[in-house]
Structure 1
């Protein structure tokens, strides 16, 4: 095989990972473009645009039978939600209290050919639980008192997640449109890249608040180690449960370890508004969120190969 062919194959298989690094590079050059209240208006284009596109496509792609089957996978849901809570023992306090994301775990599970339906179910379930549980955990661990606008966050989740998901399912059930002629996976992953880009724009556009380079580097190192430990533990534990298929293992690994920046940062800003050390409190989550997507991008190809090998073993000779 020619070197050019090898390079093109590698780029094709890992385009999502490459796209993540391109987004980081572009965000570092001109962060104010995609930062909150910047020209791209991510407070609207991400919350109600990119996230909605991801879940509309998911609703359009999911077979209705798989949704019914997923609702019966009680042990998988219990494992994911329990392990997500168990991460409090390993992670940083503010990050540990955060709910799961509503997009990255779903897209990475789908890209790895894991159980996408279960990923959606647990991401949405965990996000709604997090609206109530996250503020309580923060109050318990950090000792602050505040009021969180629960109904506002519920409305945001309903508009950007549930409505597009249900719309996609309704179109699938009552029309013949399946989107087969459209590159739905590419569109979903491109929407995720836009979310990643705006996330890093916010990170690079972070105002000065007394943090020095060693603080940021130390936080990045700790977060990286924590994530590697959590991903490894969740993979080993899920793989050891005989009731879980390889697709379930991939879903459990991502959904039980990911934390949400989209929901987490607004909650932190509401709860600790006006405090001089808000940036220090937010920094671990700002680092954790993009790092989990970079690690996930690195794992996608290996997970797909692992799933293929596991499924090949089950095929009759």
Structure 2
């Protein structure tokens, strides 16, 4: 019943339903949102992405980040899993199954594994599970900044740079201009605008999700126009679902075991597991548009993270409740012992 309750919460989430609607609209009206189409999505989404990351910068509390700086072992574990363990797992998967999985889908899994952690869901789940929230804020924020540089570099190691691959220098400049610059501007203006935007934070969260949906719609429009989905067939969706589920299960097991092997406190274990296992669709969608451009296979490249995103929300919501119940039982036992 608990699992059904969490599944129902995700199914009724307007953003997740919006992803399904965005892909359906791309199938029905592909030329409207494709590059050069009437929507001019390449310009609309660029403006939206810049604004979203500016608002992230305004809403990011530097005081909470400073408070979480001390626990360096936790930070090393989270960033190590995010940018080292995930790519290594992809390399193992490619070695074992590379001939069975379409090349574009395998590139999509590489992109998933190279992405930074989420900010909002990592922090929210850590808080609901009674974990170390300042450490979660620091690690998720640090991961997002590091991802601007590390994610395209990891992709370039496999697809190459320059002719036939990605132009790493140009891509890094674009990512800094579209993601890092507005984030820094938001932080600089936070002393003057922080309180104002805090009142309307729920609206900025809606804007964040709308921009992601536009990016997903534009990516699938380009894929539909190119005929990529007709060439691949529906089997790739099953492969993406199975691969994403296996990856999430393996990473959650590894992060939990690693946190306990390092003798983390329960609060630190919660932050480590939730931050180290997450991958960000909010950063992934705009970064994909900048790294891969108008690649006709962008819809397929984004497919693994689009599946991984709701899966991590469902599974980690259940885990957060279990962690919270465990903490409540420990606190209750301690209170009885003190009496």
TM-score (norm 1): 0.74
**Per-residue deviation, residues 258-291 of structure 1 (Å, max 9, x unmatched):** 9945444654569xxxxxxx75x65641422322
1:34, CA displacement in angstroms? 3.1
Q: Select which of 156, 168, 175 maps to 1:150.
A: 168
Query: 1:52-71, aligned counterparts within 5 Å?
Result: 52-68=50-66, 69-70=68-69
Distance (whole Å) between structure 2 residues aligned to residue 221 and residue 132 of structure 1: 29
Alpha-carbon shift at residue 87 of structure 1 (Å):
2.8
The offset of 1:47, in angstroms, is: 3.3
How far residue 307 of structure 1 moved from its aligned partner, in angstroms, is: 5.3
1:77–1:122: 8 Å Cα contact kept in structure 2? yes
What residue is the counterpart of 1:77 in the other structure? 79
Within 5 Å, give how 1:216-295 maps onto structure 2.
216-240=233-257, 241-242=259-260, 243=264, 244-255=268-279, 260-264=284-288, 267-268=291-292, 284-295=300-311
Cα contact 1:33–1:39 (8 A) shared by 2:
yes
Structure 2 counterpart SS, 1:90: helix
Q: Judging changes above 3 Å, is the alpha-carbon distance between structure 1 residues 303 and 36 closer, same or farther for their aligned structure 2 residues?
A: farther
Aligned to 2:141: 120
Would the aligned equivalents of 2:280 and 2:309 in 1 still touch at CA under 8 Å? no
The residue aligned with 1:161 is 179
SS for the counterpart of 1:199 is helix
Q: Distance in 2 between matches of 1:175 and 1:261?
A: 27
Report 1:9-158 matches (<5 A).
Answer: 14-49=13-48, 51-68=49-66, 69-70=68-69, 72=72, 73-88=75-90, 89-90=92-93, 93-98=106-111, 100-101=114-115, 105-110=118-123, 112=125, 115-139=136-160, 146=164, 148-158=166-176
Structure 2 residue ranges without an equivalent (≥5): 95-104, 128-135
User: For the residues of structure 1 that align with 2:233 and 2:284, how far apart are their CA atoms?
Assistant: 20
Change (3 A) 1:36 1:191: farther
Per-residue Cα deviation, 1:217-240 (whole angstroms, up to 9, x for no partner) = 111111111111111111222223
TM-score, normalised to structure 2's length?
0.70
- C-alpha distance in 2, partners of 1:97/1:158? 21
- Relative distance call for 1:200 and 1:245 in structure 2 (3 A) is same
- Measure the CA separation in 2 of the matches of 1:256 and 1:18: 18
User: Aligned in 2, Cα 1:147/1:39: closer, same or farther, shift over 3 Å?
Assistant: same
Q: What number of residue pairs does the alignment pair up?
A: 295
**CA separation in 2, counterparts of 1:205 and 1:256?**
22
More helix by share: 2
Q: 1:290 to 1:196 in 2, by over 3 A?
A: farther
How far has the Cα of 1:122 moved from its partner?
A: 1.5
Q: Structure 1 residues 24 and 208 mapped into 2: Cα distance closer, same or farther (>3 Å)?
A: closer
Mapped contact 2:65–2:138 kept (Cα < 8 A):
yes
| 8 Å CA contact retained: 1:101, 1:263 | no
Gapped regions of structure 1 (runs ≥ 5): 1-5, 271-277
Which of 289, 309, 312 is matched with 2:325 structurally? 309
Taking the aligned partners of 1:219 and 1:12, their CA distance within structure 2 comes to: 22
Contact 2:160–2:166 (Cα < 8 Å) also in 1: no
**Residues 165/222 of structure 1: CA separation in 2 closer, same or farther (3 Å cut):** same
CA distance in 2, matches of 1:135, 1:127: 13
For residues 299 and 42 of structure 1, the distance between their equivalents in structure 2, rounded to whole angstroms, comes to 33
Please identify, of 281-290 and 11-20, the stretch whose mean Cα deviation from structure 2 is larger.
Answer: 11-20
